Amino acid sequence: MNDVNREIRSHDLTPGEVARRAGVAVSALHFYEREGLITAIRTTGNQRRYHRDVLRRIAFVRVSQGVGVSLADIRAALATLPEGRTPTRADWTKLSRSWRADLDDRISRLERLRDTLDGCIGCGCLSMKSCQLANPGDLLSQYGTGAVRLQQG
């Protein structure tokens, strides 16, 4: 977040390189920066240069999005990484672990959903009255329409 004044090093990456290697558009990099998900330093000519860490951060963003986490929650997760120093392997592992808990959660909800649906297929219902699945305030609301929080604090 605050490495804006860091000196540029030879192994820093240009926007194009990051875009190619991370598989996202340059416009997405700008967007992620505006959203506080990644940071860049600038050359004297005002062009962005990225630390290699940005690839990990983007990887984390994409993977998390892939399982349905919102950028807001991803930002919150990334904010737990240390500022000022390059995150260590342990920092990332901690992050991955918390994310994994969320994944387990999603899987079990989907499985419950599937099992309930099996019953629905058996009974041919899908009616609002009798079906666990379709009951608002029950399974559905637990599953939620919005993103599930990655962390509770």
Partner DNA sequence: ATTTGACCTCAACTATACTTGAGGTTGTTG
Partner DNA sequence: CAACAACCTCAAGTATAGTTGAGGTCAAAT
Residues contributing to the site for its own copies (CB under 8 A):
21-24, 55-56, 58-60, 62-63, 65-68, 89-90, 92-93, 96-97, 99-100, 103-104, 106-107, 110-111, 113-114, 117-118, 120-121, 124-128, 131, 133-134, 136-137, 140, 143-145
Which of its own copies, DNA, none does 117 bind, CB closer than 5 to 8 A by kind? its own copies
> Looking at 9, 47, 111, 144, which residue binds DNA (CB under 7 A)?
47
**Nearest distance, CB of residue 122 and DNA, angstroms:** 27
> How many other CB atoms are found less than 10 A from the CB of residue 40?
21
> b/e map of 7-24 (b: 16 or more CB within 10 Å)?
eeeeebbebeebbeebeb
Which of its own copies, DNA, none does 70 bind, CB closer than 5 to 8 A by kind? DNA
